[in-house]
Amino acid sequence: MNLLREIKTKLKWAFTHCPSLSERKLHEVVTYPVQDHAYIAAYWKDQSNGKGPAVSLYVCNKEVMKFDCFGEGKGHYHININQPPLVPRGEERIQLMERTREEQVKRAIFEIQKNASYFLQRNFDPRVTFFKLDKSKLETACGQAQAKLLEYAAKF
């Protein structure tokens, strides 16, 4: 019975703690539609922990994957950010081994194209969990986003 209550609490948290793209402080945001209820956002971030191009995959208004391509030692990504962690005080990010912003951008696009469905299935929101991405449309949007992200990497 406690497990069911915990799951309900986590789901409630996920539905109420999801900042939209417009609520975040990002620069030069460009969105690329994938299909209804799914898009990729490419943008530039300048924060205390790093700066560089960044890309997010949104499904049903939930940010499922976010990559911060901040260069050597600072590039990282987040999965299913807008849901509570399964482990209190668990790791919040996965480090990127690629050194340059350009290499990190290419890795980010690869992860979105090849592994997004895996991460969708692990989201607490059932609308996201059972969402089927159109692989062809995802590939097109990823190609467009990659071009913009590489432009940001060269520009800044």
Tokens of 75: 């590039």
- Among candidates 25, 21, 18, 61, which has minimal Cα distance to 41? 21
Range in 86-90, 110-114, 131-135 with the lowest mean pLDDT: 86-90
CA distance 55 to 16: 23
What tens digit of pLDDT does each residue of 113-130 get? 999 999 999 999 999 999
| pTM summary value | 0.82
CA distance 27 to 130: 31
What is the sign, positive or negative, of the torsion defined by CA atoms of 147, 148, 149, 154? positive
Q: Is residue 62 within 8 Å of 68, Cβ to Cβ? A: no
Report the Cα 89 to chain-centroid distance in Å.
20
Domain layout of the chain by residue ranges:
2-155
What tens digit of pLDDT does each residue of 135-155 get? 999 999 999 999 999 999 998
Q: Is residue 68 within 8 Å of 75, Cβ to Cβ? A: yes
In the chain, the amino acid numbered 101 is R
Range in 15-19, 73-77, 127-131, 134-138 with the lowest mean pLDDT: 15-19
pLDDT at 6 over 70: no
pLDDT bin (cut points 50, 70, 90) of residue 27 is confident
pLDDT, residue 96, reads: 96
